[in-house]
Structure 1
Amino acid sequence: MVVTEELADELPAEAVEEAKARAATLLLAFRHGNQLAYDHALDRLFAEHAEREVTTLLVWIAAEAVRKAYSPEVGDRVLRGLARRAPADTSRVAIDEETADAARLLEAVGAGEVGVVRALVAETADTTFLLGGLLQAVAMMLPLLPEGEAGEVVAELRRRHCGPVPEIPEARGEA
């Protein structure tokens, strides 16, 4: 039987779970190149003074990933290589606007080519620009829809994602 002793500065279990969630949000934003979400998550951490606990969790996550992917001696070489190549300024998420091909994505979605859509998303380092381009395309198409169609599309999306929306009876004013 292993006996563990809680240290004075150690986080309680529920705080660890909260910090893991914050770390995951930060990692997802960084992984997908979403600079706005990354900056927002970072600002929240700084406002809460939670930098140390989240940094610890990020290091733990990275250590686990290295441990599972590499043997110990290879893992150390990988980490040393990463340390040598670290950029001078790490305050920004790397983005690559050139690889975001929203036109190809829109064509693939229109043609129902699920495999092509998945491949495009997977090969795009920065999905923020890809989805931003898709959003721009949709905005450009909205004026071309017949009157009332956009409202029906929005209502269908709400039904799919929010469940049934109760109808609001029209106010009947009697003069």
Structure 2
Amino acid sequence: MMATGELVDELPDELPREEVEAAKARAATLLLAFRHGNQVAFDTELDRLLAEHAEREVATLLVWIAAEAVRKAYAPEVADRVLRGLARRAPHDTAQVPVDEEAAGAALLLEAVAVGDVDRVRTLVAGTPDTTYLLGGLVQAVAMMLPLLPEGEAEEVAAELRRRHAGRLPTPRGTY
């Protein structure tokens, strides 16, 4: 038995520590893209991993990450039941990132804000499983509204934002 802190020799077929850390980072990138429904980022990272033939390393790390998450979230006597449930519900087509675009109601959110319904706003935001699409919808709505503002209003809003975030936003060229 080894003492705590004692170094372990690397096995011949084992990944060096630096490569393990790099693989963990790549697995995390893949998981973040999947979690946020970013199909482009997911496909890009997956294509890169497949081109480098890192399938086994990344699959191992993804399983390790999942096992750690289950271990931390569930009591040992519940963990296997949770995993069995996940296995039964696994999608047939696993190539797509699951995104619930229907739950991302930017129009509903805008309407709730317009009438000042704070509770509805909170409920909509809290009930959206992936806020990426909700925020994307809001950005699109703002972009659609900008041409409707009276002349000078957009600049005034931008100036107010710059004042609020002084020193954190770059100054546009030609404005000093």
Q: Work out whether 1:99 is the aligned partner of 2:100.
A: no
Residue deviations 1:118-171, cap 9 Å, x none?
A: 6533321233432232122112101112345445655746x94854437548xx
Aligned counterpart for 1:28 among listed residues 27, 32, 54:
32
Q: Work out whether 1:81 is the aligned partner of 2:81.
A: no
Q: Write the mapping of 1:117-128 to structure 2, written as runs, cut at 5 A.
A: 119-128=123-132
Q: Provide the C-alpha distance between the structure 1 equivalents of 2:121 and 2:14, rounded to a whole number of angstroms.
A: 45
| Contiguous gaps of at least 5 residues in structure 1 | 170-175
Q: CA deviation at 1:28?
A: 2.0
Q: Provide the C-alpha distance between the structure 2 equivalents of 1:128 and 1:13, rounded to a whole number of angstroms.
A: 34
Q: Work out whether 1:165 is the aligned partner of 2:171.
A: yes
User: TM-score, normalised on structure 1?
Assistant: 0.73
- For these two proteins, the number of residue pairs brought into alignment is 169
Aligned counterpart for 1:59 among listed residues 59, 63, 72:
63
Give, as a single letter, the amino acid of the residue that structure 1 aligns with 2:129: A
Indicate the SS of the match to 2:95.
coil
Q: CA deviation at 1:51?
A: 2.6
| Contiguous gaps of at least 5 residues in structure 2 | none
Q: Provide the C-alpha distance between the structure 2 equivalents of 1:166 and 1:126, rounded to a whole number of angstroms.
A: 33
User: TM-score, normalised on structure 2?
Assistant: 0.73
Identity of aligned residues (%): 71
Change (3 A) 1:123 1:37: farther
Q: Is the 8 A contact 1:33 1:127 kept in 2?
A: no
